[in-house]
Structures are given as structure tokens and as C-alpha cells.
Structure 1
Amino acid sequence: MDWSRIPSLAALRAFDALARHGGYSAAARELNVTHAAIAQHVRTLETHFGEALAARDGRTIRLTDTGIELAAALADGFAKIEDGVTRILDRNTSRPVVVSLTPTFAETWLMPRMGTFWAAHPEIEVRLVPGIALVDMRRDGIDLAIRFGDGDWPGYEVEPLDLSQFVVVAGRGYTEARDLAALGDLSRHYWFFSGASREQAVWGREIGVDFAQVRSEEMANNSIALSAVRAGLGLSIQSRALVESDLAAGVLYSLFEGDPAGLGYHIVTRPGVLSPGARTFRAWLRTLARIQPQV
């Protein structure tokens, strides 16, 4: 396409509005510009084509034969553009929102709350992709990721989800101790953790527990690890948000609470690329993170 032969798109849009409304004032209102701006665009087009496109006929505007020809071409062209844009927007609105997240977060925090999202937005399909690695979001078609760490992921837009506080928990009957100091040598206790939960290893180092050096059991997922702790078999390190309901019910109790600076769950997105459904899901996460968990 030789763009040097095509006039300003702003001028063409102004002339299309003039042709449809039959007046400068109405065209100006549609485009939220001044009457003079529409007139200037028309003069620019007339200079470009070397002939008149519109003339005043009493209180109305009459298009010349060339103006009628141009108006028809613009109506056809803009209609095709509108159709293409609408199809793309509709496709992005209806396609699933693909969310990559850690298995621990998916199992214990997100899934118990997803019912509220689906109730509010039944038209939006959400596809969860559990994993512990930060995937290539563009290559793998990921709209949004929830990741644990310090938030330093270059090339992405990152915002904290404010769920960084962690707790050391035990089940009723495991020990009479009510804090870490009373437990004595931490390596003498059984620790349950999930192999899919990088955050538990990070938090362990914060309190001097290395799962490779203590008596520990790696479980296939965090749900099994929590089941073992609820049964009074040992200890675990968990995000407080993930065990809030257990603590409130007295099923588990806390021996230690920590809040390592900068570490926590984050919402990760590609810069400037979010479908309407993904924007809605992100807004829901932001709201949910500010309210008391209800699991």
C-alpha cells in the first residue's frame, strides 16, 4: 500500500461523519471536536484531491459527485474495519482466561474462593495451569500468573497480592509447646512440606529449618501435607492466608508468625496485554486480597 497517496485518517474520519450527519455541527459532536476542525479536515481533503467534496445548499450540506463517491468508499472501508475489530474483541472477550499459579496457592487459597468469581461472572471461563516455574507467558498463552517471590521478574508487570505472612503450624495434640523456643531443637521434629511449594523452603530458611537437614516428609501436594499436620503428625510452614480457616476453627494453631520483607505472592502480567476477561479476573483478585479470607 502506498500510504503517500492516502490522506490523513483523521480527515477521512471527519468527512465520513460529515457525510453521514449532513452537517458540520453534528459531525463535530460525534467526534468531540469543533465545527472549525471538521471544516479544516474537509478543506485538507479537497486540497489533496484537487476538487470540491461538499458545498452548502441553504441550511444543509450537499456532497458533490466526488464527495458521494468518497463517502461510499469510506463507509465500506470503515465498516470492514469495524467488523474486524469487533470479531477480535468478541474473540478475546469469550476466550478462556489462562492463569498460571503455584499448586499450593491453587489448592488451598484460590479454589475455595473461585465460586464467588463464577457466580459474579458466569460468562468468563478461567483455565488454571498449576506449576512452580515462571513460564514464558507469551509463548504459552498465559494471561496472568500468580507467583511467590520478591517480585523481581524483569519484562513483566508485577504487583503484590499482599499474602506474604507465613506461620509455623501444628495440629492439636502434637505438642504442648506454643512457640518455637519451647519446641527446642527444631531438627528433632517432623516437618511436612509440599514438593510443589517453593515458598515453604524459602520460609524454612527464614527460621533456620532446612528440609534436607531435618526430619521431613515431602508430600505430593500441600493438601496432603496439611492433612498430616491436622492429624498431629508434625509441623509445617504455611502462608497464613492458606490456613486462616484452620486457625480460626482451632484445627491448627500457630507456633510462629513471620513476614519476610519483600517476599510474597504477586500478580504477574505481560506489559499492556490483557483481555477483557483477564482484566476482570485481576480486579477480582485485587479486591479479594483486601478482605478477610472466607474458606
Structure 2
Amino acid sequence: MPLAYTCHGNPGGWPVFYCHGTPGSSCEVLLPTRLADQVYLIAVDRPGYGKSPFIDSYPVSQFASDLEQLADHLKINAFSALGFSGGGFFALTAAALLPERLKSLGLLSTPAPHEMQSPLDGTGPMNGPIWATAKDQPEKLIEQLQTLLKDAPAIYQVMTGSLCENDQKLFTQKQVADTYLKAMSDALAQGSLTLATRITQELQQLLQPWPFELRNIQQPVFIYQGTTDQLIRPVHAEALSRALPRAELTIDPAGGHYQGIGNPSRFAELLLKLVSASQASGQ
């Protein structure tokens, strides 16, 4: 299906497809100004978010196929992907299913429940109960989320209320707060019921067996994780680093959940790694 998307930077630069969080939208990320000539950042709305129509029972493998179709539409042969939080699962799937075209991968604050002793290990006080309800009582979670996430300010309050001190400081920056509110407003474009349903379905997919093996992903993978992240603990990033054959792990002792996309220097550093790795592969 056609995916809605937002482009930043130079169409002649290295293309990087951005996979937003859960919840989120293509508006949640900004390209650092100093990379405007080097990088072509294409942020994609998954079905049910922003302007991408909702599809019931949308398999994660279909996202890889739709991303490939979008690359064809934009006349892009080779590219990188970058996934934030729940979007990391979709970026990993694209890397696994599109090995000839996806040349490097970035993961920010990405969960890896199947690498834990128990799928709910390493979740925070907010995520843990939500994941458990998605797994065992999805209809109940849809009802709860529809009430909780009725508008963008409500989402902002729920999400930021569970963040660490470092993230709280980050959100005192007007541009960061305004960008997040815009992203959540777009996430709600199709209504609170659609958003609640899509979040629940994505969490169910995250917690079910994945349609690929991490050890089969042979591209360079750059993983960023904040030590003080209250949503996804560092044990997830460490597990991903062990499971992926060509992983490079960066642990930020002062980082929270949102430092990777909200801190321009951190985000630029990761994007440059994706570009360099792709150039090294001869692309």
C-alpha cells in the first residue's frame, strides 16, 4: 500500500528511511541542519498513523515490502533505515527482508523482548503493564488507550510523565516539545480508536515470534541507548548488540529514551555512521 512520508534534506544525499516510535508519526524527527546536504531523510507514517490509511492485521513483513515500493517510487536503489523505540522493530524487519538494498541500520532505544529471559524484562513502570495487557487482554488495552490518548496534550502528559530527569530536561526545549506535540497530533489524525488499535496491534506483533532471526542480519547496525531510559532499559540494547553479527553499541550514561532523536549532535553522529558504513560498502 502507499505510505505517507515526509522528506528532509538533499535528494542527492544518502537516503535514510526513518521508522517512528509507538505511538508516533513522520513529524517526530528533524534533520540536523549541518547534514542537510549529505542526507536525504525520509520519515514514513506506518498504516494508522498520520496520513497512511489504517489496515487491520497489518503484518510487520508487509512494512518491508511497502518500504521497498516507496524506495522504487522515489527511484532509490540502496538506502539505510533508522528506527526509534517501537519503530526499531520495523527497521530490523526491513533489514532482514531487504538485505540487497538496505545497506546499514540505526536503532535508537529499541526493544528486544525475545532476547530477554522473559519478554517483559527490561521494561519501565509504564511500558511493563501496557505490554502485559497487549499480550493477554488486547481489547482491554484498546479501551484503556482510547481514553488515555484522546488528544495530543493528553499523549504528551502520559508519555513525558514517565520519563527520566534527562528526558524531562530535553523536553524543556521549545523545539523538542513543539515537535513532539506535532508528531502526536499527526499520530491521532485518524482518531483515538484507530491510534489505540494500531498501538495494541504493534505491541502484539512485537511480543509474538518475529519473522526473522537477528543473527541473519548481516548489515552494519549502530545501536544507541541511554542509561537512564525509563521506558526501554539498556539490557535490550546490550542483547541486540550480542545477537546482531555486525553491531556497534553506544551507551550514553547521560541519555534517556529521547536523547537519540532530540539531541541534534547525537542524531547527527548516528546518521553520519549510516552514511559512512554505506559508502564503505561501495554504494
TM-score by length of 2: 0.32
TM-score by length of 1: 0.31
Structure with the greater alpha carbon radius of gyration: 1
Structure that is richer in strand per residue: 1
